[in-house]
């Protein structure tokens, strides 16, 4: 039976597929393709975090998300201290999420014409 994936997988996944008696068909991504695939993988992992049902599943999915995050940091040659500085600046200017605010909607203000 053919199973179609078309996604970036961890380095050891091919080993486990072979161990399960299946034959993996794959290709190595070019560096630009790899960078794009990591961005898509980040979304995939974030979705899995959002869908986690138990605290243990949440921890595993957050760990996977962190793995992709670190891979992105490496391929884009971003320094973690630079990210932390930006995070702190944005938190100072815009706040964090501790207040638990859910924005429902906004309304336009009436504009009064001056005479």
**pLDDT per residue of the chain (115 residues) written in tens, 0 to 9:** 899 999 999 999 999 999 999 999 999 999 999 999 999 999 999 999 999 999 999 999 999 999 999 999 999 999 999 999 999 999 999 999 999 999 999 999 888 777 6
> Which string of DSSP letters, residue by residue, matches 32-97?
HHHHHHHHHHHHHHHHHHHH--SHHHHHHHHHHHHHHHHHHHHHTT--HHHHHHHHHHHHHHH--S
Query: What's the confidence (pLDDT) of residue 112?
Result: 78
Distance, in Å, from the CA atom of 71 to the CA atom of 39, rounded to the nearest integer, reads 10
Domain boundaries, the chain: 29-94
Angle CA(53)–CA(55)–CA(56) in degrees, nearest 5?
Answer: 100
């Amino acid at each position: 039976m053919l199973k179609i994936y078309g996604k970036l997988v961890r380095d050891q996944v091919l080993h486990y597929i072979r161990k399960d008696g299946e034959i993996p068909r794959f290709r190595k991504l070019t560096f630009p393709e790899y960078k794009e695939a990591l961005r898509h993988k980040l979304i995939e992992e974030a979705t899995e975090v959002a869908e986690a049902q138990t605290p243990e599943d949440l921890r595993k999915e957050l760990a996977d998300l962190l793995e992709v995050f670190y891979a992105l940091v490496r391929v884009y040659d971003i320094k973690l201290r630079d990210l932390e500085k930006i995070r702190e600046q944005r938190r100072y200017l815009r706040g964090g999420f501790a207040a638990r605010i859910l924005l429902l909607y906004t309304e336009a203000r009436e504009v009064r014409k001056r005479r």
